[in-house]
Structure 1
Amino acid sequence: MRITAAAETEFLEKVFQSVGFSAENGTLLADTLVDADLRGISSHGIQRLDWYIRMVQDGTIKPQNQIKILKETATSMLIDANGNMGQIASALAMNSLIKKAKTTNVAMAVIRNSNHFGTAGYYSRLAAKAGLIGISTTNTRPLVVPTNAIEAFLGSNAFAFTFPAEPHPFVFDGATASVSSGKIMVLAKNQKPIPGEWAVDRNRNVIHDSKKAAEILSEVAFTEHQSGGGVLTLGGNQEENSNYKGFGNSLVVELLTGILAQGSISADTSTGKHDFSQFFMVINPAFFGDLATLKANAEKMFDRIRHLDHVPGTHIMIPGDREYRNYDNNLKQGVTIDPKTTQEITAIAKKFSIDLPQAL
């Protein structure tokens, strides 16, 4: 079904408050999911709601716990999410870093004892809105098989980078693996095949059956024992296609998150303590030159790329172009919710005695 962003927001706020989040935190959580749906990133939108609620109910997510700032300087922060949602600690971190970087020109934060934090780009875009460069990363449950391995060890380990520009900031936001698990889950929900070289079975054979891939990911991410298989690194299945570079990217994020936070690495989040870690960095580009000039130079580069000769019937897009176009369209037309997720939120609405969003 299709619903308005306002209706989705209102519904999500009521659900989050029903499971124990404060009104303020519920509003933030709702905004991160609606923002993802508006941008066409349905893997991180309302389809995550059922999963979030199950984690609250099994004690993985602790809505009443307060975020703790463990250490802080003029340029750095170490934050304990205290088992609460990653969005809450991450928004606190990024908003604090923005204030710091305006004075010190660079600031960074590490979060420990966290949970899923939505889309990495949500936080980096906060920096871009303030005329700053933003970097956001997180580790995840073990989903990704390293080069030549047959069992998952790394997380999909999202990375986002933003740079201020017009008509919208440059926004690179993606997994350091071939794909996030959420995209496979969306395909499986809708009984659609995997279109690319995204996942492999225990023999490292590429699989296109999304249901089979989802079952493999569920096993490796939520059980202590796995029979093998998982998501591929960037570069696909073969070392000849430089998949070791994607492997390296994932490891960089693992070092900045789980290792710096002294928390669990992705491989251990399904077998022991469930704790994701995040890393954020904000840079003031105005330290290096006039901000308006820097933005103009970046915009000229982007436009030159957009107008390069290209394959007929295609368009060259700069990271962020598609998402901002989706945002504008979906804000007017409403966001689409797949049939399976519609069933899930219908059950959630009934369980908490909340009105289901009205379909357009």
Structure 2
Amino acid sequence: MPDTPPKVLVPAADLRAFAAALLEKGGLGAEHARTTADVFVWAALRGVDSHGIARVPAYLDLLAKGVANATADLTIESNAPATAVVDADRAPGPVALSVAADEAVRRARATGVASVGVRRTVHTGAIGYYVSKIAEQGLVGVGFVAGMPNMGYTGAQGAAVATSPLAIAVPAHAHAPLLLDMATATIALGKLRQARASGTPLPEGAAATEDGTPTTDPARAVVPLPLGGAKGSGMSLAFELLTGVLVGAPILASFHSDDPAGREHRQNALLIAVDPAAYGDPDAFVAAVDRTLSTVKGLPVADGSDGVFYPGERSAATAAERGAHGVPVAPKVWRELTLHADKLGVTLPDTAV
């Protein structure tokens, strides 16, 4: 077996500047390029490499093809103090959802709870980023996303609903914030591709063939199956209703219709911000969160387990490690980035192996 090429290590700040430079050359304005790069590097720092720096070439492709609008005119509509809708005009998701997160925080400060919908965006990126930004302001963040159907639905054949994610972030003080960030699928599409490339058998119930037959053969697997069967598919359907249908931009019904426009790539989202101050003393709330997380951490460790962890704890530790020593970039991804840098005239950052 040939040796696997080592990953390239890049300091986070340099990687962020490099990604922003590539995206700006790809057509985004400087501010939007920095925002998008920040989302990618945040994911890469936390070990979510599928949504990390590897997304830069894909976004450059979306921009080049006009699927993502590099000069989008984002607008904010509101009919009530605690609600708003960001019309993204096909802006990249990191741009649109960052605007929505800021708007949700601003409104929640005044109303206690606020929700901001996002319609007509393109690939939201790591949804955990946006709710984490809300939690950094001392608020609880909740987010849903719905997109193009690419996952099975219990009882239906083929791709029926989206692998719609849910994310919740709760601020803490003595601990890293709780961050639950999960898809409604049993297995991510990226892991399906990795299994196919390596020939690694899939877990039972993780994926199905085109006609909906469950399979463990990665060569035959086409669509991931919902997490928990009807539970995961039901959540995905609910998120479609709470995002696209709620803001007048449904995806599911048009995708499964005869309308060719129904297959045009798009995503919708809903972000919710909850201000603990509207319920009592926010400092007491954070202290109680810390006590709760400490209680979970102090539970007896089961045989064979390496510890008791809460959502977001290990990814926060990964972020600290990578922030100190550099972000690893896979050789294939680095080759792609190098090709784009040569094409666009962007200087590569200093690296280590």
Same fold (TM over 0.5): yes
Instruction: Using the TM superposition, give the Cα deviation of residue 261 of structure 1 relative to its aligned residue in structure 2, in angstroms.
Output: 2.1
Taking structure 1 as reference, are residues 266 and 187 closer, same or farther at Cα in structure 2, changes over 3 Å only?
A: farther
Alignment of 1:43-82 (within 5 A): 43-82=50-89
Taking structure 1 as reference, are residues 264 and 130 closer, same or farther at Cα in structure 2, changes over 3 Å only?
A: same
Picking from 280, 290, 295, the partner of 1:299 is 290
Taking structure 1 as reference, are residues 208 and 326 closer, same or farther at Cα in structure 2, changes over 3 Å only?
A: farther
User: What corresponds to 2:4 in structure 1?
Assistant: none
Instruction: Using the TM superposition, give the Cα deviation of residue 305 of structure 1 relative to its aligned residue in structure 2, in angstroms.
Output: 1.8
* 3-state DSSP of counterpart to 1:144: coil
Residue by residue over 1:120-149, the C-alpha shift from the partner in whole angstroms, topping out at 9 and shown as x without a partner, is: 111111111111111111112211101132
Picking from 255, 265, 290, the partner of 2:241 is 255
Q: Identity of counterpart residues, as a percentage?
A: 28
Taking structure 1 as reference, are residues 95 and 187 closer, same or farther at Cα in structure 2, changes over 3 Å only?
A: farther
2:327 & 2:202 partners in 1: Cα distance?
A: 23
1:99 & 1:87 partners in 2: Cα distance?
A: 18
Taking structure 1 as reference, are residues 25 and 203 closer, same or farther at Cα in structure 2, changes over 3 Å only?
A: closer
Q: How many residues align?
A: 336
* 3-state DSSP of counterpart to 2:76: strand
2:254 & 2:318 partners in 1: Cα distance?
A: 36
Taking structure 1 as reference, are residues 282 and 153 closer, same or farther at Cα in structure 2, changes over 3 Å only?
A: same
Picking from 217, 225, 236, the partner of 1:232 is 225
User: What corresponds to 1:219 in structure 2?
Assistant: none
In structure 1, give the amino acid aligned to 2:338: T
RMSD: 2.0
For structure 1, which runs of at least 5 residues remain unmatched after alignment? 217-229, 236-242
1:299 & 1:284 partners in 2: Cα distance?
A: 17
Q: TM-score, normalised by structure 2?
A: 0.89
In structure 2, give the amino acid aligned to 1:251: L
2:284 & 2:101 partners in 1: Cα distance?
A: 25
1:264 & 1:182 partners in 2: Cα distance?
A: 25
Instruction: Using the TM superposition, give the Cα deviation of residue 53 of structure 1 relative to its aligned residue in structure 2, in angstroms.
Output: 1.3
Q: Within the alignment, does 1:8 sit opposite 2:15 as a pair?
A: yes
In structure 1, give the amino acid aligned to 2:280: G
1:194 & 1:117 partners in 2: Cα distance?
A: 29
* 3-state DSSP of counterpart to 1:173: strand
Taking structure 1 as reference, are residues 338 and 26 closer, same or farther at Cα in structure 2, changes over 3 Å only?
A: same
Q: TM-score, normalised by structure 1?
A: 0.87
Q: Within the alignment, does 1:125 sit opposite 2:132 as a pair?
A: yes
Alignment of 1:202-351 (within 5 A): 202-209=211-218, 213=221, 216=222, 230-235=223-228, 243-266=229-252, 268=254, 271-309=262-300, 310-351=302-343
Instruction: Using the TM superposition, give the Cα deviation of residue 55 of structure 1 relative to its aligned residue in structure 2, in angstroms.
Output: 1.2
Residue by residue over 1:295-324, the C-alpha shift from the partner in whole angstroms, topping out at 9 and shown as x without a partner, is: 222222222222222223422210010110
User: What corresponds to 1:145 in structure 2?
Assistant: 152
Instruction: Using the TM superposition, give the Cα deviation of residue 267 of structure 1 relative to its aligned residue in structure 2, in angstroms.
Output: 6.7
Taking structure 1 as reference, are residues 359 and 188 closer, same or farther at Cα in structure 2, changes over 3 Å only?
A: farther
* 3-state DSSP of counterpart to 2:269: strand
2:156 & 2:298 partners in 1: Cα distance?
A: 41
User: What corresponds to 2:112 in structure 1?
Assistant: 105
In structure 2, give the amino acid aligned to 1:255: L
For structure 2, which runs of at least 5 residues remain unmatched after alignment? 1-7, 256-260
